[in-house]
Amino acid sequence: MSNEIPSEMNFIDLPEFGGPEVLVPAHGPVPRPGPDEVLIKVHAAGVNRPDVLQRKGGYNPPPGASPVPGLEVSGTIVEMAPDVTGWKVGDPVCALVSGGGYAEYCVAPAPQCLPVPKGLSLLEAGGLPETYYTVWTNVFQRGRLKAGETFLIHGGSSGIGTTAIQLAREFGARIFTTVGNAEKAIVCRDLGAEAVINYHGEDFVEAIGELTDGKGVDLILDMVGGSYIERNIAALAVEGRLVQIAFQQPSKVEIDFLPMMLKRLTITGSTLRPRTVAQKAEIAAELREKVWPLIEAGKVKPLIHKTFPLAQAADAHALMETSTHIGKIMLTCE
């Protein structure tokens, strides 16, 4: 190992499942890159809902992945496997990983790395991979969103939501979103949402009916589940698509599927973490071609709500669970 790379590093350990307090600073060996992998000296790591789910015992890493939480990082490549092409030591990158992000050094598959977009800081770039990979594959690949279509995003002020609003706006969709307060509504409108529905006082099915003259929306991106599922089906237009990416309410519900048949609906969803490197590489290639130019042109960017030092990962998780944040919560190593 190069003299510039220490033998040990600081990271966040998860010795048991539970509340935010189970995330504890630890010290251990720096990982080594395997075939087609790079080692990144981490500058920033994003905090995401799947990390919270892992902390609670509901989203274990896939076989072979690091048990350390963290699914996205930015930093500098400091070591590469001999078979890696397209990158060199010293390159600033951001990367989607299957685990290991809450650490000073993180191994990433080379095909899942993307260059830090021109004009963005390393901190901002650290908030790109998880949300942009997720939005691209679910909204544009699986959801098939097209210009001129209507699109309802639940939780518009989240990292996923703010990303989905911006990208849908750039690709010509009409955007509606749900939020929990007036401050979040302002942010979503500023990002490009045509209408914002406060779920505490409004029924989004009724609101969508009024906004679309009774037609319903073409696409819904949902991370709530539970009682929202049947209501989502009611809010969809003929040939509409529902894309489910998470469950904050139960995933088991009783539903009448007759409306799905009558309206010829598509109900789909996905998880990103267990997908193969080859599948994630395809998403990365599309992002680099179709989305990175938008970022470099200043048309879309990650919203950073708050940053915490790596050792304060527990505080970052506690903030995420309040759902008061707007945009991304980040951990920094430098």
C-alpha span between 111 and 266 (Å, rounded) = 30
Question: In terms of CATH architecture, what is 8-128+300-332?
Answer: Alpha-Beta Complex (3.90)
CATH 3.90.180.10 residue ranges for the chain: 8-128+300-332
Q: Which pLDDT tens digits describe the chain residue by residue (334 residues)? A: 444 899 999 999 999 999 999 999 999 999 999 999 999 999 999 999 999 999 999 999 999 999 999 999 999 999 999 999 999 999 999 999 999 999 999 999 999 999 999 999 999 999 999 999 999 999 999 999 999 999 999 999 999 999 999 999 999 999 999 999 999 999 999 999 999 999 999 999 999 999 999 999 999 999 999 999 999 999 999 999 999 999 999 999 999 999 999 999 999 999 999 999 999 999 999 999 999 999 999 999 999 999 999 999 999 999 999 989 999 999 999 7
φ and ψ of 135, to 5 deg: -65, -45
- The answer to whether 105 and 31 are in contact (CB under 8 A) is yes
Q: What sign does the dihedral 238-178-73-11 (CA atoms) show?
A: negative
One-letter amino acid at 114 equals L
Q: What is the pLDDT of residue 334?
A: 72
Query: pLDDT digits over 284-318, tens only?
Result: 999 999 999 999 999 999 999 999 999 999 999 99
- The answer to whether 153 and 129 are in contact (CB under 8 A) is no
Q: What is the pLDDT of residue 1?
A: 40
Q: Which secondary-structure segment (H or E) carries 220?
A: strand 217-222
How many angstroms separate the Cα of 174 from the Cα of each of 119, 126, 187, 250?
A: 28, 28, 16, 29
Query: pLDDT digits over 59-101, tens only?
Result: 999 999 999 999 999 999 999 999 999 999 999 999 999 999 9
Task: Specify the 3-state DSSP secondary structure of 85.
Answer: coil
CATH 3.40.50.720 residue ranges for the chain: 132-269
- The answer to whether 79 and 44 are in contact (CB under 8 A) is no
User: What is the pTM for the complete model shown?
Assistant: 0.94
Hey, what's the torsion of the CAs at 74, 318, 166, 218, to 10 degrees?
130
In whole numbers, what is the pLDDT of the chain averaged over residues? 96
One-letter amino acid at 82 equals P
- The answer to whether 38 and 86 are in contact (CB under 8 A) is no
* CATH entry, 132-269, from 3.30.200.20, 3.40.50.720, 3.20.10.10, 3.90.226.10: 3.40.50.720
